[in-house]
Amino acid sequence: MWISTRLYRVQIHARDLRILDPLLSYPSTIMGRERAIVLNLEHIKAIITAEEVLLRDPFEENVVPVVEELRRRLHPLAPQIVQDEGGENVSVQHDLEIIDEDESPFEFRALEVALEAICSFLDARTTELETSAYPALDELTSKISSKNLDRVRKLKSAMSRLTARVQKVRDELEQLLDDDDDMADLYLSRKLFGPLSPLSGSAATNWGPASPTIGSRISRTSRASTATIHGNDNDVEELEMLLEAYFMQIDGTLNKLTTLREYIDDTEDYINIQLDNQRNQLIQLELFLSSGTVSLSIYSLVAGIFGMNIPYSWNNNHAHVFRLVVIFSGIASALFFVAIIVYARQKGLVGS
């Protein structure tokens, strides 16, 4: 009954709740409905209306800071009361940022909190990964071992998963920025109160979001007033500035991960070059050993021939022949070995 009442009040379909189901793997999504914004950004799953924010699992570890920030920014603030020299009470607002937030539509302030939280969360995870990855890669280049290779493999897997998460958020923001109609659907207050006439321009509500940039805060009032006076329901400039600010932030996070991936690829290339060099050295050693074995086989052949139990007439009273055979066989084997090495160097098979 409670769920049905909520769905009726925010006017969203029951299938939209599937996007917020943690058991289902849905990508990051920001959807505008008639009276609500359905938000699914990693662990932040919420339904934002023009008057309230419904969060899933508000006591979850990563969601608690978001709840506190929503309470801080969306809680109505009473003006500060001070007394002048005459003893009269004067109502003043002491923070320009509070004024900016009060001028912004409720749904944009809530959306900004969610975007700021998810961008900061992903950027923090990226910083942690960089802190672990760069020393591990440097250690791997200095010493190639199974332990270091396994450590880098785990870091690379974590980087791939984090890159996919950041890419999903970036793609969703980019898709919103490319479609003005989708951005117009996020103006819930404009739908709720309808376009105002030019005669009510002095009491018009400012539809501009609390942009993270100082320049947008300075010029927000003039642009929003112009859009309100002309009654342009398709004006999405302020929301576009808000989304662009966080799109640039999440794009910067993605660039960090891209740089880290390139560093990992460069490290892999360097390690492959080292392994190829060691493999070439082993091949050269094998060539030297094989050449020496072939050379000694010639010496063994001569020794085998003269070692046969066959009577030789010239072997009698010729003891010096044994020394000559040994000397000439050794010289022939050595010359054959040198010839093989010289030929291999000329063909570039071994290094100089």
What is the three-state SS of the chain? CHHHHHHHHHCCCHHHHHHHCCCCCCCCEEEECCCCEEEEECCEEEEECCCCEEECCCCCCCCHHHHHHHHHHHCCCCCEEEECCCCCEEEECCCHHHHHHHHCCHHHHHHHHHHHHHHHHHHHHHHHHHHHHHHHHHHHHHCCCHHHHHHHHHHHHHHHHHHHHHHHHHHHHHHHHHCHHHHHCCCHHHHHHCCCCHHHHHHCCCCCCCCCCHHHHHHHHHHHHHHHHHCCCCCCHHHHHHHHHHHHHHHHHHHHHHHHHHHHHHHHHHHHHHHHHHHHHHHHHHHHHHHHHHHHHHHHHHHHHHCCCCCCHHHCCCCHHHHHHHHHHHHHHHHHHHHHHHHHHHCCCCCC
pLDDT bucket at 166, cuts 50 / 70 / 90? very high
Determine the pLDDT at residue 351. Answer: 66
Residue with tokens 């672990």: 132
Contact 38, 31 (CB under 8 A): yes
**How far apart are alpha carbons 128 and 108 in whole angstroms?**
30
98 touches 22 (CB < 8 A): no
pLDDT digits (tens, 9 = 90+) for 260-296: 999 999 999 999 998 888 888 888 888 888 888 888 8
Look at residue 84 and tell me whether its pLDDT is greater than 60.
no
For residues 26 and 161, the model is more confident at 161
Q: Are 103 and 206 in contact (CB under 8 A)?
A: yes
Residue-level pLDDT at 93: 40
For residue 159, the model assigns a pLDDT of: 94
Residues 172-223 pLDDT 10s: 999 989 988 888 888 887 777 665 434 333 333 333 333 333 333 333 433 4
| CB-CB contact of 220 with 239 (8 Å) | no
Distance in angstroms (rounded) separating the CA atoms of residues 331 and 299:
9
Q: Which residue has the tokens 């992903």?
A: 122
| Cα–Cα distance for residue pair 4/18, rounded to 1 Å | 15
Q: Which of 136-145, 158-167, 233-242, 325-334 has the lowest mean pLDDT?
A: 233-242
User: Which of 240, 245, 174, 178 has its CA nearest to residue 208?
Assistant: 240
HSE, side-chain direction, 13 A CA sphere, residue 180: 7
Task: Name the residue with higher pLDDT: 148 or 212.
Answer: 148
Name the band, by pLDDT with cuts 50, 70 and 90, for residue 90: very low
Q: How far is the C-alpha of 34 from the C-alpha of 350, rounded, in Å?
A: 75
Domain residues of the chain, as ranges?
2-78+96-275, 276-346
Residues facing residue 32 across a β-bridge: 37
Which residues neighbour 138 within 8 Å (Cβ) at sequence distance 6 or greater? none
Task: Indicate if the pLDDT at residue 87 is higher than 50.
Answer: no
pLDDT of residue 191: 74
Q: Hey, what are 290's tokens?
A: 């094989």
Beta bridge pairs of residue 120? none
Q: What is the per-residue pLDDT for 86?
A: 43
∠ CA 48-53-55 to the nearest 5 degrees? 100
Nearest residue to 242 (alpha-carbon basis) of 103, 75, 113: 113
Which among 274, 248, 105, 88 is positioned nearest to 188, based on CA atoms?
Answer: 105
Q: Which two tokens stand for residue 188?
A: 């819930």
For the chain, what is the mean pLDDT? 76
Q: Domain 2-78+96-275 belongs to what topology? A: Methane Monooxygenase Hydroxylase; Chain G, domain 1 (1.20.58)
